[in-house]
Structure 1
Amino acid sequence: MASESESRHVLKLALASASVVWYISLWTIGMIGCVAARKRYRLRPRSPLASAPASSVPGVSIIRPLKGLDTNLYENLESTFMQEYANFELWFCVDDEDDQALPIVRDLMAKYPNVNARIAIRNSLTVGVNPKVNNLMTAYRQAAHDILWVLDSNVMVDVGTLARSVDILSPPSTAHPPKHRIGVVHHVPFAYVSKPSLGSYVEQAFLNTNHAKMYIAINTVAVESCVVGKSCLYRKSDLERVDGSFRPIANAENGGQQPGERGLEAFGRFLAEDNMIAGALWHELGLRHDLSCDVAHNAIGDMTLMDYIARRIRWIRVRKRMVFAATMVEPFTESILAGCLASLGLNYLLGIPPWLFLLLHFLVWLYVDFDVYASLAGYPMPTAIRLQFIFAWIVRELLALPIWFVAIVGNVVVWRGTRYEVLQNGEVRKASQDGGGLLGWLRRRGRKSADYYEPLEVRE
């Protein structure tokens, strides 16, 4: 009996110690993200390239995939016309001539006649199941420059973003050579709510705190590729050598390449092509990634709570097939589960009351999230929106675990009205369009976001 009691004590001691060690490790990662955000985003100096002549800066092809009237579309697209950079071209990609975004594009082309802007019509060009890749292909093949900047239609950028990003991707030859050449420069999303709704506020709370904190931390430690493709720069010449297999190329430094299909078309079989492109450049060519000091201003429109839930389910299911272990651990990185486990562990080890620990835990966690928000925004959170943000933050935290449980048991996702089955390694195939299951119900419960335009201030 004594032996059984002793064994039970050892097990409890081990579990309690493990929960505390995990909690400390999680806070270490969170503080890395918080401190890195402070250092990187609170000062955005003007790049020398912003005022350099066209002959002295690398050319860049900016490619924007479009489909319909996204939130704040006019201002989002206009921000790329306004880049302080002397050598770039603009490509706007649509599926057909009837796309509702085209009148806006043509208005902007007339407003900025000195900008080399073009429209790429996909028509029937298809290289895979991913509609975004299909949309990009015409511009990708006709791009005049090796450096590509691909950014989503719901993203707005500061006027100095391109110059600062090229500084990182193609540093001056006089600069100290980095240990690894940079293959991707990307920008952390920072969400703006253009039209108030519960789902929009919850999405904003997620992107501007927990997501940003972990995203910045992982990229600061840089032990693995972690890229969200809302705004990415990379070289076409690099992409033309990889195929998404993640198999290292033996002679990569001497121009080696994968056999068979390569380039952007090779990524048409993936749903998260942005993440896979970044991973391929990392694993196959040995190139590293870097964040600039800019953010991708992500305009969020009329998103219902069901829209938010369906979106999170979709990307957890995709990520599950790409990074299974990390997805399984994800619930333990959330404030509620991590805090509850640590409170039980500390109560067993040190006798600290769980209620007292949890009170301090949530207050400090929220404070750090506010600090990350302030770093990305460039200013503290306005007092007028603080209470509504805290409410949205609480809703986000409470939904995290239930959403994960729903997402983890299925492999079917809905993206832009089409159902896909996610296969091994993140590849997808079209699924039956019956819209069944919980995800179909969520989709039916949500409503299509309204088309509207509300100017957002671009801060330099």
Structure 2
Amino acid sequence: MVAESALGNAVTTCNQYGQSLWLVAAGWLAIGWYIFVVTVSTIGTIQVFRRYSRPLPKATRAPSDPNLPHVTIIRPIKGLEPYLYENLSSSFQQDYPKDKLSISLCLSSRDDPAYPVIEKVLARFPDIDARLYLEPKYEDHELGPNPKIRNMSQAYRELKGDVVWMYCAINTILVAPCVVGKSTMFRRSHLDQVTKNHVIPSRPYPRKPGLDSLSDNICEDHLLGERMWNGKLEEEEEGQPSEWGKHDLVFGDLAIQPVTKMATSSYVNRRVRWIRVRKFIVILATIVEPGIECFVCSACLAFGITTGIPPLLSGSQYCSTYLSTWSAFGLVWGLSAFVWMLTDFFLYRTLLSFVTIEVDENTPHFARPPAPESIARRPFLEWFLAWLGRETLALPIWIWSVFGGATIVWRDREFRVGMDNVAHAVGPASKQRSCNGSLNSDPNGQSQRSYGSDDSCEVRRRTPIENLTKMGMKTTAAAMDLDETSRLI
């Protein structure tokens, strides 16, 4: 009887304010969603302030330690991008034993405009074990259409040692493999283990373990992290304890990519490509994505407060009536968006303060801390306009990406992504690769030639960070984009 009485009172109160019980329930669900998003975002925000608001501790192991593992840095490259020379040089400027470091630079052909820059970098560091791979010709039964995997495949198969670069992100609360294409590391033996039995039903040819197993997919970075996250290593399958956990590596150096002014169309195309690929992999996350954006999430809070709260304030006629108005909705939405914007700005300011960067004579100007009198690297108004544009475009981009088809353009090629997340080349195939060569710079500074070929790939400047930062490695490598740093969940 008590429950029936309470339900009756609730229905009466809802009717009094012209609201249905279902609408009130939806309002409380919206408030709950907002609290969940803000809670997870707060965890990421706290971690950023904890890790990047003060200098990192010094290396805990001496570079001369004989037990340091051999590390291979693989960097696929395409075309000339801002400060390409400085970015590539950063891979060679490591506080790490030279006999434990190898660098593999991957290029489609000597016709690529980046080729002279790479030759210049190799000539500058003749004492580093570095090699330039020119992409060989692959048949369909060897590799899928992913141009980046095709570009890196040979370098991966011929790398020295077991530790190799990977591009993934930090994951604090350990709910998913939060891979966003940034720079980190993994062991080749681990990746080979978790991909050795990977089969794609729609592909008649099996792929080799490792990176080659991801060549039929476009979002190889996410899938690579997913394989490492869900797969079991041999010791885990045998019931033995593993020290690797879910590959939740430690925080590392900031990875910095200088970006010149990007056209709005290029930004939109980049976002559309990513969402269209991801909607077939993480369907639920793609569906709820608009709800974690500033404007929509703030609207959820405003809707919840203006529909779920008034029935509880029946004793205060003024408050309950005002909260049911559009002006109250706008006020709540505006306050939420304002706090959200300030949080994003302080995150931007913290990350780009670069206080964790060990500045030396080789540090480029874009990776140096801003002037002490500067509030941030960019004027607030300039940053705010970029932030406003990003948030305003978020929902239209999502709608177009989800409902506008499954075709994407990536690295000057057009692909159609199926429900099984397999990429299919659309339209005429790219020009056939002809035999070229690869330029090697061995530790003795002597150049050698081996053979490869050509096509196109897009530059991705990455170097290992994470675990080996404790051993003296430092990086200036991957992208730190506004849309990524603003989304910390």
TM-score for both structures, normalised by structure 1 = 0.73
Asked if structure 2 preserves the Cα contact closer than 8 Å seen for 1:66 and 1:92, the reply is yes
Q: CA deviation at 1:375?
A: 2.9
Residue 54 to residue 139, structure 1, CA distance change in 2 (3 Å): farther
Q: 1:299 aligns to what SS in structure 2?
A: coil
| Corresponding position of 2:333 | 358
The residue aligned with 1:138 is 154
Taking CA–CA contacts closer than 8 Å with sequence separation of 6 or more, which of the two structures ends up with the larger relative contact order? Answer: 2
After TM superposition, give the deviation of residue 140 of structure 1 in Å. Answer: 0.9
1:281 matched to 2:228? The reply is yes
Pick the aligned partner of 2:119 from 92, 106, 111.
106
1:118 to 110, 116, 131: 131
Contact 2:164 2:188 in 1 (8 A): yes
Identity over the aligned pairs, expressed in percent? 31
Q: Is the 8 A contact 1:147 1:236 kept in 2?
A: yes
Q: Can you give the 5+ residue segments of structure 2 that lack an aligned partner in the other structure?
A: 1-10, 200-205, 234-245, 311-319, 355-373, 430-458, 460-474, 478-489
Q: 2: CA distance between counterparts of 1:238 and 1:282?
A: 11
Q: Secondary structure of the equivalent of 2:397?
A: helix
SS at match of 2:131: strand
Structure with the larger strand share: 1
Q: Which has the higher mean CA deviation after the structures are superposed, 370-379 or 102-111?
A: 370-379
SS at structure 2 position matched to 1:426? coil
Letter paired with 2:148? K
- Name the SS of the counterpart of 1:366 in structure 2: helix
Alpha-carbon contact 2:166-2:184 (below 8 Å) kept: yes
Displacement of 1:115: 1.3
The AA in structure 2 aligned to 1:220 is T
Amino acid at match of 2:213: A
Aligned to 1:444: none
Q: Could you say what secondary structure the match of 1:55 adopts?
A: coil
Per the TM alignment, residue 75 of structure 1 is displaced from its structure 2 partner at its CA by 0.9
Give 1:424's aligned amino acid: M
Q: Structure 1 stretches of 5 or more lacking a match?
A: 152-185, 188-215, 248-258, 435-450, 452-456
2:68 aligned partner = 57
CA contact (8 A) 1:64 1:150 kept: no
Q: Deviations over 1:57-101 (max 9, x none)?
A: 111001101112122211110111101111211111112232222
- Equivalenced residues, count: 361
1:331 and 2:290 aligned: yes
Cα deviation, residue 143, structure 1 = 0.8
Q: Against the structure 1 CA distance between its residues 338 and 275, is the aligned structure 2 distance closer, same or farther, given a 3 Å change threshold?
A: same
* 3-state SS, counterpart of residue 226 of structure 2: helix
- Which residue of the other structure, out of 28, 32, 38, is the alignment partner of 2:49? 38
Residue correspondence of structure 1 range 74-89 to structure 2 within 5 A: 74-86=85-97, 87-89=100-102
Specify the code of the residue in structure 2 equivalent to 1:129.
P
Offset of 1:13 from its aligned partner?
A: 1.0
1:226 to 146, 171, 178: 178
The yes-or-no answer on 1:424 pairing with 2:419 is: yes
Equivalences for 1:51-450 in 2 at 5 Å?
51-53=62-64, 55-86=66-97, 87-125=100-138, 127-150=143-166, 186-187=168-169, 219-243=171-195, 261-285=208-232, 287-348=246-307, 349-350=309-310, 351=320, 352=323, 353-378=328-353, 382=376, 384-409=378-403, 410-432=405-427
Q: What is the alpha-carbon distance in structure 2 between the residues aligned to residue 356 and residue 364 of structure 1?
A: 12
Would you say the 8 A contact 2:165–2:184 is kept in 1?
yes
Q: Does the CA contact (< 8 Å) of 2:104 and 2:133 recur in 1?
A: yes
Whether the 8 Å contact between 1:270 and 1:426 is mirrored in structure 2 is yes
Q: Does the aligned pair in 2 maintain the 1:246–1:279 contact within 8 Å? A: no
**SS of aligned partner of 1:372:** helix
